[in-house]
Chain A
């Protein structure tokens, strides 16, 4: 699976959009980009995933560049409850679809 690179930490003001970048320059054509988040002392929560096209759901939007070498997770109106560690993972199902977590981005939403 391709390695992903994320900033260690980010701050965001409550009510503003949080834009979390992820670099996956070695991603292969059959690898999906998955985003999860982990709130302190809980299990990871699925947010969104995509292959080529931009995706949107009730939680967030995922913007994938045309060359697929990077992506951005957008939380449109961040709240204090969005404070968490956000993980960007490139996943292929060839090896059973297991998720390998990197260090993620610690997002702090501030009032």
Chain B
């Protein structure tokens, strides 16, 4: 149980276009999901907290107008990278916790590798 699925697993797009990444909790509900970014040879960096039915909370230094987050239901959060540039190329990973159970671990998706050409 507690499976988090991301789609797509990889995407290549041209500079200036927008890319949407989906994060789904397959067998549980999640009011809150988290989005991370990871560059090669580096650790995961938390980008934002996605809250169902309300605005996302962004970490310091993350541009909210560039990384649009929508958490429309208890099982789906989306991250849209707008006007992507080569420096946005990275590994994007989402995570979620079983709703209402604060003493349970965060479960992670398998990530989306974005390459902007």
Binding site for B on A (CB under 8 A): 32, 34, 36, 38, 41-46, 49, 87, 93, 96-104
A-B pairs with beta carbons under 8 A, tally: 52
29 contacts between A and B (CB under 8 A): A32-B103, A34-B105, A41-B113, A42-B111, A43-B4, A43-B95, A43-B108, A43-B109, A43-B110, A43-B111, A44-B93, A44-B108, A46-B105, A46-B106, A46-B107, A49-B105, A93-B102, A96-B32, A96-B49, A97-B32, A97-B102, A99-B95, A99-B106, A100-B46, A101-B43, A101-B44, A101-B45, A101-B46, A103-B43
A97's partner among B91, B97, B108 (CB-CB below 8 A) is: B97
Q: Are B34 and A99 in contact (CB under 8 A)?
A: yes
Contacts of B6 in A (CB 8 A): 43
Which residues in A have their C-beta under 8 angstroms from that of B36? 101
Chain B: interface residue total (CB-CB under 8 A): 24
17 more A-B contacts (CB under 8 A) besides A32-B103, A42-B110, A99-B34? Answer: A43-B4, A43-B6, A43-B108, A43-B109, A43-B110, A46-B106, A46-B107, A46-B108, A87-B43, A97-B102, A98-B46, A98-B49, A99-B106, A101-B45, A102-B43, A103-B43, A104-B43
Interface of B is mostly: strand
Q: A93-B102, A97-B102 are in contact. Are A41 and B43 (CB under 8 A)?
A: no
- A103 and chain B: residue at smallest CB distance: B43
B2: min CB distance to chain A, Å: 9
Which 10 A-B pairs have CB atoms at the shortest separation, nearest pair first? A43-B108, A46-B105, A101-B44, A101-B43, A43-B110, A93-B102, A44-B108, A43-B111, A43-B93, A43-B109
* Min CB gap B44→A, angstroms: 4
Contacts of B105 in A (CB 8 A): 34, 46, 49
